[in-house]
Chain A
Amino acid sequence: MSALSFPDHPESVLMPTAGDRSQGRPRRWYRQPALMSGIVILAVILFLAAAAPLLSSYNPIAQDLNASLLGPSAHHLLGTDQLGRDTWTRLLYGLRTDLRIAFIAVLFPFVLGTVAGSVAGYFGGWVDVIIMRLVDIVVAFPFYVLVIALVFVLGPGERSIYIAITAVGWVSYARIIRGEILVAKRQDYVLAAQSGGLSSIRIMARHLLPNVITQAVIYAMSDIVQDILAIVTLGYFGLGVPPPTPDLGSMINDGQNFLSTHWQLTTIPGLAVVVVGLGLSLIGDGLADLIRTGQS
């Protein structure tokens, strides 16, 4: 705590904290067409995924070999796959699986990268050198190569996906946050906090982070898109969520043998991924625009 004798929280008297920023924030976020359409798209997708049991009466993993490879009909909106499972139902549950994993998967690299970037940027010196060398090394591997290699080594499954995406994904957050901290730490409010005798951890968490986190949040939007693509790709190669759990990647893989006769089996799950990606990208772009206009 502070060496000065201010009442309760010295920083509230001395310098701006996260709470003060809300006043400067542009209010008309709903006027951003990109942001709004992104939110609408994502809301619809999230609703479909969340309400899957209400929107379909079929079991996503129940096979019915008498009803395999049926075309779209009133009973089966998008037809059935080679094992007679309802494609619409599997699509909904597949979205559920992949979105859940993607949203959880983005958290770990976000937190790890933010902490590593803050520490590197704030302390500088050898800590910075070590962390940034580590970043250089991880960046040397193509994203998919390292993710696929790690999942292979750890064995397929959800836990491996989290570990692999965290191990590869934290570097971008570390780079972004470090860059922002390098600029922000020279600001007067940080110098004031330092001279107020606040601990480094407190300065980083309460003063610096709220001011630098926005860029990382915007990046997280495009990062989720990348994570969803990685999860779907792993599923496609049979390295993702083990069957019979529905997953869009394995649905595309299952359908590719019937591409010329039952195109919907491959096309629809892929299209779902594209729509999710579009929604998240629009939100990311809209947020970035909002912050640019807010700053100018």
Chain B
Amino acid sequence: MTHTDSTGTPPAPPKTSSSLWAWLGLVPFFLFAIAFLLLPSLSIFINSFQAKNGSFTFKNILDLSEPFIRNAYWNSISISLVTAIGGGIFGFFLAYAVTLGGLPKFVRPFITTFSGVASNFAGVPLAFAFISTLGRAGMVTVLLRDTFNFNIYDAGFNLYSFWGLSLVYMYFQFPLMLLIMTPALDGLRREWREAAENLGANSFQYWRYIAMPILLPSLLGSMILLFGNSFGAYATAYALTSGGAINLVTNVIGAQISGDVLNNQGLGYALALGMVVIMSLSLIGYSWLQRQTERWIR
């Protein structure tokens, strides 16, 4: 790594001129970040406190408690929670099956590639795939109706509802969970299990006292990631509900941009701000959990 001189101290840091060059090398990146990240964010932040006439106000923030908006936030948060937890649990089991389940060697790379594809498969293609399967004239719907005389729509299922959308979201939530958890599961060293068995633990005890505690930060962190992923999703909901049927924050903001619905600029900003706040909190939670894991696993 670094050379040391005979007195055992590392050499002095590089001269100012090369540091200067390094700083200059970073300038384009930072300029870009300022122009296209900082400014838009600041604009949103500042403008959410501005009324139509330009004066400072809290009204926009307060208007967030309007029933329509509250409903949107409630829906967005609910669907994100549901798909984060559901996707998290099922994705974890799938990841476990693939890493520790003793399956043939070809299974894992296949599932990993597929997960990479599936986690990117969203918007109209995904919506349409599910319409073809579980829509009113979808393949599975028709199959169940004709073969088992069971009409899922009569039984209360509706693809275009909250639960239908959740089911569709799972399509990119599972794979995301799988892709994140597989390395974490790889990190469970075989010797820990053997040492535990040596000391008398059975499978359940190993999982309870050792494996789960070690995996927990990764698990929670991934679910937070899933939450954020779902919260910020726009294309899929738009495609499935054609922009309106289910009230979601992303849809409302989108409508706001298109000038369709609210026509209250300030409120749009406040919505966006609310979103950023929620996402930031998620990111902070995620980083904290990441650091926990890194501390233990060397």
B and A form one assembly:
no
Could you tell me which B residues sit within 8 Å of A by CB distance? none
Could you tell me which A residues sit within 8 Å of B by CB distance? none
